[in-house]
A and B are shown apart, each in its own frame.
Chain A
C-alpha cells in the first residue's frame, strides 16, 4: 500500500515537475540585444526601438551565401512608459521580448536632456534586464543608432559592446554600465557621465557608421553637455581610469615634427583639504609610458631630451585635465569627478553642511593639478633610421 502510494506520487511529480512554471523556449522569445529610447515625434509618448536577434540568420556559420543577411531585426513601438512600449512591441513580434541578453541601452539626446532617471527605473526594477548593460547616450536619435549596421559584426549591439571595451586603448571614451550610472545617480557628491555614441560619415543614413567616443555629462539626471575626446581623457585621468593611449607631443629638437608616446599605466590621487572654510583639491596624476614613435629624424634617446619629452607629456596631460575641469566647473557646475565624495570621505563633519549646496560650491573650489609623467623605454630601436 505504502509503496504503491510512493510510486504514484513519484509518477505524478515526474509528470508535473519536469519543467519550470515560467518555462520559455528559445523559439517563443525575442532576444533583445539593444534598446533605444526616444521621445515620439508625433505624439506625447515614449518611443522604444529594439534590436532583436534572429537566431535563424546566425545559424549559417562560415558560409558566405547568407553574408548579406542581417543578423538582427529592428522595430519600434510607442507607449506611455518603457514597459508599456515594450509590451506594445509584442503586437509586431509575435513573441514576448526577452531582456536578459540585452547588452546595450541607448538613450536619445532629447530624452537625456529632460532627465534620464524615470526612463531607467524599468531596467533597474525588472528582474530580467541586467545591470551590466552598457549605457550610452546618442548624439541625436537613439533609434538611428539601433538601426545602424556594422560591417564586421552580424549583431550591431555586439559591435557597440566591443567598441566600448576597445576604447581602453585610447581612453577617450568612458565605460559606464547601468550599475555604475545608478550608483553615481544616487550618491551625493558625484554626478554621472555616460558614454557617447554617434553616427559618422557622409551620405545616406544607412551608410553611416557608429562611433563610440567622448562622454555625455549629466547634472543630476539631466544631460548638460558633451566632452570631446581629449576632454574625456582628461576626465579619465582624474578618475584614474586611463588604461592606455597615445599622447602626441612636438619633438624637442624639431618643433614641427610629432612624437607619439604610449601610456603604459596611470593612476590618480585626489586629496581634498579644507582650511578656514576654503576648499582646495589636489589631483595628483602618476603616469608611465614609452616612446612609441617619432616622426622627427633626430636622436631622442638621450638624458636631456627624455627629460624634455617627459615635461611636454606632463604638460599635455595637464592641459587635458584643465580643459575638462574648466568646462565642468565654469560651464556646467557639475561634479563628475566625485570630488564631493572625496571630501565626504576625508571631512565627514564639514560635508554635512556642504552636502546640500555642493553643486553651488563646486565651481568655487580651487583645484590643483600635479602631473608626474615618466618615460621608461624607447622600443626596439634606440634611434631613428637615418635616411641617407
Chain B
C-alpha cells in the first residue's frame, strides 16, 4: 500500500467538515445562487438531506471495494478502460486544489494585501501544503482535529458578538417563491461538497470503515447548521441585496464587530484562524491528488511526485482564469455545480452500476 497510515472516523469527518466550512466562510457564494431571497437559510438547512443523497453512490462504491481507493477501483471495475475514469478523478482533485489555492489567493489580494502578487499566497500555501502532504494523511488529520474545534467555536463567538447588529426580521416572508427554488438552492449548496469524492479515496485508510455512515450523517447536519448560522448572520446584517453584491460577506460581517468601542477589528485574528482551516482544506485535496496520481501510475511511493504535482497545481491555479471575473463566472452555480456533480455523483454512480452488473467487489450487506 502506498499509504501506511490509518485514520479514525472522527479524523476523517474533521477534514470533511473543515474543508467544506472553509469554502463557505470565505467565499459564501450562496447568495448569488437560487433562491435569491431570504429563504436561503432554509436551503442551508435542507442541504443536509441533499448531501446524503449525493453521498450515496460514492459511499456504496467505497463500501463495495473497501480496500481500494476510487482510482484503483475504477480499473478493477472497468478493466483497462477504467484508467480513463481514474484519470478524471485525479484531474478533479488537481483542479480542486488549484481552485482552492486561487480562492485563498483572491481573498488575500482583494482584501488584505492588494499590492502583493497573488503568486506569493498561492506559492507559499502550496509550499506548506506540500510539506504536509509529504508527511502523509495522518498529519493532515491531526491538524484538522486541532483546527476544527477552534473554527467551530469561533463562528459561534462571531455570532454572539454580532447579535446586536442582527435583524431577525430578515427571515420573513418564508417561502416567498414556493419550495422549488429553496430545494434548488439546497442542491447548489450540496453540489459544492466535492469532498464527497474523498470518501471512496480515503475509506481504505479508515480503521473502522463500517461506522463511517453515522459520522458522515452527523457531519452533514453540523455543516448545515453552520451554513444556516452564517447565512442568517450575513443576511441579517447586510440585507439580502447587499449580501449578493459583497464578495466575501462573512469576512465583512466580522469586520463590523464593534462591542463597547474596544472590541473592534478582530477580523485579522479571524484571518489567522481561517488560514489554518484553508491550509487543511488545500492540503487534503493536494494529498488526494498526489495519492491518486501515484495509484494511477502504479508508483511504489507517492512522495517523489509531491513537488512535481505542486508545480502543476500552482501554475494551473494561476492560469485557469485571467481575472476574478472569469474565475467567479466558472464558480457560479450555473457552471460549477454541474462540473462537480459530474465527478462527485455521475462517475461514481456509473462505476457502482457497472460493479453491480459485473459482480465486482464484495457486497457490503
Contacts and interface: CB of A to CB of B under 8 A. Distances in A.
Contact of A127 (B114, B120, B173): B114
B116 interface: yes
Closest 3 CB pairs of A and B: A186-B241, A21-B116, A345-B172
A348 B110 contact: no
B255 A183 contact: no
Nearest to B171: A345
Nearest to A130: B255
B112 interface: yes
B173 A21 contact: no
Contacts of A182: 238, 242
B111 A183 contact: no
Contacts of A131: 252, 255-256
Contact of A345 (B116, B173, B245, B252): B173
Nearest to A345: B172
Contacts of B3: none
A182 B252 CA distance: 14
Interface string B104-145: 000000111111100010000000000000000000000000
Interface in A334-381: 344-346, 348
12 contacts: A21-B116, A127-B112, A130-B256, A131-B255, A132-B255, A132-B256, A179-B242, A183-B238, A186-B241, A186-B242, A345-B169, A345-B172
A308 B245 CA distance: 52
A305 interface: no
Contact of A183 (B116, B176, B239, B258): B239
B239 A187 contact: yes
A42 interface: no
- The winner among A20, A21, A22, A187 for most chain B CB atoms within 10 A is A21
B173 A348 contact: yes
B110 A127 contact: yes
Contacts of A130: 255-256
B242 A344 contact: no
Interface string B169-198: 100110010000000000000000000000
Given A132-B258, A346-B173, A186 B111 contact: no
Interface of A: 20-22, 127, 130-132, 179, 182-183, 186-187, 344-346, 348
Nearest to B237: A179
Contacts of B176: 348
B239 to A, nearest CB: 4
Interface in B252-267: 252, 255-256, 258
Contacts of B256: 130-132, 179
Interface residues of B, number: 23
A22 B115 contact: yes
Nearest to A342: B169
A22 B114 CA distance: 8
Contacts of B240: 187
Contacts of A348: 173, 176
A305 B174 CA distance: 47
Given A132-B256, A344-B173, A345-B169, A179 B114 contact: no
Interface string B315-351: 0000000000000000000000000000000000000
Contacts of B111: 127
A186 B239 CA distance: 8
Nearest to B117: A21
A22 B238 contact: no
Interface string B246-279: 0000001001101000000000000000000000
B113 A21 contact: yes
Nearest to A131: B256
Contact of B238 (A20, A21, A179, A344): A179
A345 to B, nearest CB: 4
Contact of A187 (B110, B112, B241): B241
Contacts of B112: 22, 127
A179 B165 CA distance: 11
Contact of B115 (A21, A132, A179): A21
Given A132-B258, A186-B241, 16 more contacts: A20-B116, A21-B113, A21-B120, A22-B113, A22-B114, A22-B116, A130-B256, A131-B255, A131-B256, A179-B237, A179-B256, A183-B238, A344-B173, A346-B172, A346-B173, A348-B173
Nearest to B264: A132
A160 to B, nearest CB: 15
A22 B255 CA distance: 19
Contacts of A179: 237-238, 242, 256
Contacts of A21: 113, 115-116, 120
Contacts of B114: 22, 127
Most buried by A among B237, B238, B239, B258: B239
A183 B237 CA distance: 9
A130 B242 CA distance: 15
